[in-house]
């Protein structure tokens, strides 16, 4: 079904990243997600684990899925300036690009100070008002 829409609308699959959240689910559902995600990855689709650090099986998903990107939950970014434990998690996850061979995105970069901290730790991507306001996207898919 996904292939149909990508072909119909002439969407370059390398410009779309599907996000998987770490919401608790049944064992069967988790296995279905693994099978479908890994199949789509083998066909060139990209996936990110969103809100990393908030779910119950963070590292299991990291081991089982071939993901393009990990997006660290925004609470770690926001709190990292004033909470030493959040800083440690922030720093630890920033190394995943080398350890797991995937991109790492720091969410919660709400100020320039957050952005500088993320840059200093080596994050490849960031998300938050410190980088800019959300913008309306027009003309992407007609």
pLDDT band at 17 (very low <50, low <70, confident <90, very high): very high
Please state the rounded mean pLDDT for residues 102-128. Answer: 93
Which residue matches tokens 């089982």?
A: 64
User: Is 116's pLDDT higher than 90?
Assistant: yes
Top pLDDT among 90 and 56 is at 90
134 belongs to a structural domain: no
Report the pLDDT value the prediction gives residue 56, as an integer from 0 to 100.
61
Please state the rounded mean pLDDT for residues 127-136. Answer: 85
42 belongs to a structural domain: yes
Which residue range is the domain that position 123 belongs to?
Answer: 2-127
47 belongs to a structural domain: yes
Number of domains into which the chain is organized: 1
Q: What is the CATH number of the domain that holds 54?
A: 3.20.20.450
89 belongs to a structural domain: yes
Spatial separation of the C-alpha atoms in residues 82 and 41, rounded to whole Å? 38
Tokens of 37: 């995600």
Report the pLDDT value the prediction gives residue 46, as an integer from 0 to 100.
95
Spatial separation of the C-alpha atoms in residues 96 and 103, rounded to whole Å? 8
139 belongs to a structural domain: no
133 belongs to a structural domain: no
With beta carbons less than 8 A apart as the criterion, state whether 34 and 47 touch.
no
pTM: 0.79
Q: Which residues touch 90 (CB under 8 Å, ≥6 apart)?
A: 72, 76, 77, 80, 106, 117, 118, 121
Spatial separation of the C-alpha atoms in residues 126 and 141, rounded to whole Å? 24
Burial 58-95 (b: 16+ CB within 10 A, else e): beebbeebebbbbbbbbbbbbbbeeeeebbebbeebbe
137 belongs to a structural domain: no
């Amino acid at each position: 079904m996904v292939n149909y829409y990508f072909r119909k609308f002439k969407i370059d699959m390398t410009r779309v990243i599907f996000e998987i959240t770490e919401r608790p689910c049944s064992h069967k559902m988790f296995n279905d997600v693994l099978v479908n995600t890994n199949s789509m990855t083998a066909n060139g689709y990209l996936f990110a684990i969103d809100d990393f650090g908030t779910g119950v099986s963070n590292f299991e998903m990291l081991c089982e899925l071939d993901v393009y990107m990990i997006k660290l939950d925004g609470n770690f970014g926001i709190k990292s300036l004033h909470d030493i434990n959040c800083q440690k998690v922030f720093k630890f996850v920033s190394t995943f690009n080398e350890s797991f061979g995937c991109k790492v995105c720091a969410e919660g970069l709400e100020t320039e100070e957050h952005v500088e901290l993320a840059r200093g730790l080596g994050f490849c991507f960031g998300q938050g008002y410190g980088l800019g306001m959300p913008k309306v996207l027009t003309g992407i898919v007609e």
